[in-house]
Amino acid sequence: LVHLDLGEGETEFLHLEYAGGDKLYVPVAQLHLISRYSASEPELVELHRLGTDRWDRAKRKAAQQVRDTAAELLALYARRAAREGHAFNFKEHDLEAFADGFGFEETPDQQAAIDAVVADMKSGKPMDRLVCGDVGFGKTEVAIRAAFKAVMAGKQVAILVPTTVLAMQHFSTFKKRFADYPVTIDMMSRFRTSSDVARTKMNLAEGKLDIVIGTHALLAKDIVIKNLGLLVIDEE
pLDDT (tens digit, 9 = 90+) per residue, 147-171?
999 999 999 999 999 999 999 999 9
CA distance 47 to 172: 52
CA distance 112 to 108: 6
Asked whether the predicted pLDDT for residue 195 surpasses 80, the reply is yes
* The pLDDT value given to residue 116: 93
**What DSSP state is assigned to residue 218?**
G
Mean pLDDT to the nearest integer, 192-199: 90
What is the sign, positive or negative, of the torsion defined by CA atoms of 19, 20, 23, 24? negative
* The pLDDT value given to residue 84: 83
236 pLDDT band, cuts 50/70/90, is low
**What DSSP state is assigned to residue 106?**
P
137 pLDDT band, cuts 50/70/90, is confident
Mean pLDDT to the nearest integer, 14-33: 87
Mean pLDDT to the nearest integer, 66-86: 89
* The pLDDT value given to residue 88: 87
* The pLDDT value given to residue 40: 64
Q: Are strands 23-27 and 156-160 parallel, antiparallel or unpaired?
A: unpaired
